[in-house]
Structure 1
Amino acid sequence: MRNTTTKPRVAAALLVGTLMSYGHVYAQGAPQSITEKRTDVVQLGSGYRASKLAGADVFNKTRDNIGTIDDLIVSPGGEHATYAILSVGGFLGMGKHLVAIPFGDLQVTNRRVVLPEATKKSLEALPEFKYAD
């Protein structure tokens, strides 16, 4: 009976010897740094999805529909607050007036967005928001 385990052992020993003779082996590519941050999922879970807020009607404390959320503007790096861009007035998208409201001024409860003290007139009196080119 022949010993068939000798050839694989010799091949493995040659491979290990060859690799060890090269000294240090470096991975290809540039070194990368990865910064990890823990996310508190409970805190994150109490936030609002932008995709669900866009297009939502905005009401005041007397339940009058005073506008619609057109967009959310989030500043890079968290330097400033998030702003809700409200579409006020107009008809079927024509003649609408866009205004920027600090998101913290809005109250979101029971799937309803409320800007308590606002009226259509008070929002239309605000300076018009225009998107940068």
Structure 2
Amino acid sequence: MLMKSIAAGLAGTALLATVAFAQSPTTTTDKAAPAATATTTTTTASGEWRASKMSGLKVYNDANENIGSINDLLMDKSGAIKIAVIGVGGFLGMGEHLVAVPYEKLKFVNEAVASTTTTRPATTTTTGAATGTEKTTTTTAPATSSTSSTSKWYPDHAVFNASKDELKNMPEFKYSE
């Protein structure tokens, strides 16, 4: 049985190979073939952001407090984005309050939000009396902020000038049917 399958496979392959060889390209000797020019056009969009990456983008206020995240972007019929739907509060999508804010009121930032954590490489200064009996030691650790590398396809975060409570007090946005 195995030998019959192998023989049938070889016969089928031979038939296909002869059909492929029979189709040889025709050549003309009276003219030289024109050189094929392959032009590949690529479009780049440097400085543009992907709309798919805007959903879930964190929104901060001017005091660097996280006030929510972008849930959706609404555009008019011409394709211009007019409204950003921001989700405020809630936990794992439960109890989230959606508000609609004008898109032009959002400011997008490529740098990461300044971190409030401090590092421990500290400088120590010692002051005291000339006799050396009284010493006061002060240790200060400089606050550092981390900055991320700028993403070329979406911003790091958005800034909207409102507090979380102000957004929660705004009328809730609902999608009409």
TM-score range, shorter chain: 0.5 to 0.7
User: 1:1-133 residue pairs with structure 2 within 5 A?
Assistant: 45-77=46-78, 82-110=82-110, 111-115=156-160, 117-133=161-177
User: TM-score by structure 1 length?
Assistant: 0.61
Which whole-Å deviations, capped at 9, do the CAs of 1:35-74 have from their partners, x for residues lacking one?
xxxxxx89x6444321111001100111110001000000
Instruction: Specify whether residues 45 and 75 from structure 1 end up closer, same or farther in structure 2 by C-alpha distance, changes over 3 A only.
Output: farther
Amino acid at match of 2:53: K
Which whole-Å deviations, capped at 9, do the CAs of 1:10-29 have from their partners, x for residues lacking one?
xxxxxxxxxxxxxxxxxxxx
CA distance in 1, matches of 2:56, 2:67: 13
User: TM-score by structure 2 length?
Assistant: 0.47
CA distance in 1, matches of 2:165, 2:104: 21
Checking the alignment, whether the CA contact within 8 Å between 2:90 and 2:96 is kept in structure 1 is yes
CA distance in 1, matches of 2:90, 2:76: 28
Q: Please give the root-mean-square deviation of Cα atoms over the aligned residues, in Å.
A: 1.9
- Report the CA distance between 1:119 and its aligned residue: 0.7
- Report the CA distance between 1:90 and its aligned residue: 1.0
More helix by share: 1
Question: Structure 2: 5+ residue runs without aligned partners?
Answer: 1-42, 111-155
Amino acid at match of 2:82: T
Question: Structure 1: 5+ residue runs without aligned partners?
Answer: 1-40
- Report the CA distance between 1:81 and its aligned residue: 5.4
CA distance in 2, matches of 1:82, 1:46: 20
The equivalent of 1:6 in structure 2 is none
CA distance in 1, matches of 2:49, 2:174: 24
* Bigger relative contact order, structure 1 or 2 (CA pairs below 8 A, ≥6 apart): 2
CA distance in 1, matches of 2:50, 2:176: 24
The equivalent of 2:8 in structure 1 is none
Count of residue correspondences: 90
CA distance in 2, matches of 1:67, 1:77: 28
